[in-house]
A and B are shown apart, each in its own frame.
Chain A
Amino acid sequence: MVAADRRGVTPPARYDGLVTYDPERPWNAWLESDSGAADPTANTASGPRIRSVAELTRLVRERLRDAPGLRDVWVEGEIGQVSVSAAGHAYLTLKDDRAQLRCVIFRDDRLRIPFAPQTGLRVVAHGRLDVFEQQGVYQFYVDSLQPAGFGDLALRLEAMKARLAAEGLFDAARKRPLPPWPASIGVATSETGAVLHDILQVLQRRWPRVRVVFSPCLVQGEAAPTAIIAALRRLERWIDASSGRGVDLVIVARGGGSLEDLWPFNDERVVRAVAAFPRPVVAGIGHETDVTLVDFTADVRAATPSVAAELAVPSRDEQGTRLLTLRGSLHRAGTRALATQRIALEAERRALDTLRPSAVLTAERERIGLLLDRATRAIQERLSTDRALLGRSADRLPRLAQARTMLAGTDLRSAARALGALSPFATLERGYAIVRRADGSVVRSALEQRLGDPLEVRLAQGGLDVRVERVRDSAP
């Protein structure tokens, strides 16, 4: 730059020889019409060429922008000064012990960066180099920024993940299903912090019929991997000690944190301990976006500790709804079964009517009618009680008065017993018989039958399967 300025002091030869002097024309008008940097012959053919600052700067800018190694750059350094403009762009310097680099992060890129750039932080920045012409400076335009060391950790994680995946540790075929009705759940997590509390709260609400066996461990820091493995080992010994009934599944959980915080759950020893655990393992580590190798290895991966607890047990609400539905079906089926018996009874009574003296018949009919009424009343009472109960919420179900239910059941039962004892079948003792077709319908007239029809004759003691040998239209 300095050299160019100095050379500009002497008028160039080209100015005298090739351009006609025009007093109306400003001395530097050739600059406007000249193709400038695009003209490669400018210096050689016509001597030294004078450039404007803008022109030269433009030239530098284009060279810089086109340089293959400077367009897609990763650079690591320590953040020096940082300021954020009113428009939201961040200006900062990146430095190491020998140099500084001016950096710009435009607002949209800055908002995408998940942490605030601060003086003293070591970072890895990605971006492109460019020249800011108005100020004559080159700058690094950052589009993404990460704390230094993150890349290293992430690379190590990827490498380990690939190795364990190749070993088949994450295979879907390895995943064990969770027991649908666990009686006991092991929980390996920190003694302090909200995680255990969150898990217990979900279990208390969702399926309190479960026993929790808590095996505390550190979940952060260098000692954490050994502690987690020891906690799992304790649970395993507990299973052995209780002849297999100790724990039906295990939740391994930790609250959210940085990649470094969650690192124990990427520890190969921990990953292998989870894979080798003798019962299914649910992992609830960090928040939705946190993924560790233990998440990949566990039989079920839950987004958070609370979700892990949800997945581990059935839902009380769902089971309550299911119970209500079953209850409805039970009563419908029970009512239908009684109604069927009632129809059969009436059909047989009608069959007997035609054979019996009217006086006996009337008395008998009244008794049967009364019994049927009693049975029907008992059922209806029961149904209305149920309807009232069904209207209530599922959680009130257990308060259903046991005594009342048993009482209703007893009524129904004694009515049915009496119904059976005094049914028209008792009449058969007197020597009558009921003749039925194969479909169970009662035969009332000989003319309804054909030769060879199979019929069933019901007697007081047992019955006969017979065939029609002859059809007569009147009694012999």
Chain B
Amino acid sequence: MTDDLNAALAALPFDEALAELQSVVGRLEGGGLPLEASIALYERGVALHEHCARLLGDAELRVQRLVEDAAGALRAIDLDPGDAAR
């Protein structure tokens, strides 16, 4: 798989990667594809799966708190989710 494709994959949100994986599986199951195309699809499917699995595992909850300064401007300050959830 090319670096371009991998780079694009890294930024793909979970839901989009999952949807593409479903479409890849659907096309492979449909059959009738040339060998090269089947292999390429299969590899894309593996990469998408890896990506999804990594997204499921890695995530750390991010908690921000909205604060309003004296001038009324809003800012979001990061809270430690561990502290907040403990």
Contact = CB atoms under 8 A, between A and B. Distances in A.
Contact of B42 (A204, A330, A395): A330
Given A323-B53, A420-B35, A420-B36, A398 B68 contact: no
Interface string B54-74: 111111111111101000001
B74 A319 contact: no
Interface string B1-40: 1000000000001110010011011001101010110110
A303 interface: no
Interface stretch (A5-13, A149-157, A232-240, A256-264): A232-240
Contact of A338 (B35, B61, B64): B35
Contact of B68 (A207, A234, A409): A234
A320 B62 contact: no
Which 5 pairs show the lowest CB-CB distances between chains A and B?
Answer: A398-B57, A333-B28, A337-B38, A334-B42, A208-B59
A330 B59 contact: no
A211 B79 CA distance: 11
Interface of A: 180-181, 183, 196-197, 200-201, 203-204, 207-216, 234-235, 237-238, 241, 316, 319-320, 322-323, 326-327, 329-330, 332-334, 336-338, 340-341, 394-395, 397-400, 402, 405-406, 409, 412-413, 416-417, 419-420
A394 B58 CA distance: 13
B42 A211 contact: no
A326 B21 contact: yes
A214 B56 CA distance: 23
Given A200-B63, A330-B46, A181 B15 contact: yes
A181 B13 contact: yes
Given A330-B24, A330-B42, A330-B46, A211 B29 contact: no
Helix, strand, loop or mixed for chain A's interface? helix
Contact of A213 (B21, B52, B58, B64): B64
A333 B62 contact: no
B50 to A, nearest CB: 6
A391 B45 CA distance: 20
A263 B14 CA distance: 40
Contact of A201 (B18, B35, B49, B85): B85
A212 B74 contact: no
A323 B18 contact: yes
Given A208-B59, A330-B25, A333-B25, A214 B64 contact: yes
Contact of B49 (A326, A417, A419): A326
Contacts of B63: 200, 211-212, 214
B83 to A, nearest CB: 10
B64 A211 contact: yes
A204 B85 CA distance: 8
A238 B74 CA distance: 7
Nearest to A186: B66
B6 to A, nearest CB: 10
A398 B54 CA distance: 5
Given A181-B15, A214-B64, A214-B66, 13 more contacts: A197-B85, A197-B86, A200-B63, A208-B60, A209-B59, A211-B63, A323-B18, A330-B21, A333-B31, A337-B28, A340-B31, A406-B1, A413-B43
Nearest to A408: B46
B8 to A, nearest CB: 16
Contact of B50 (A200, A241, A320, A400): A400
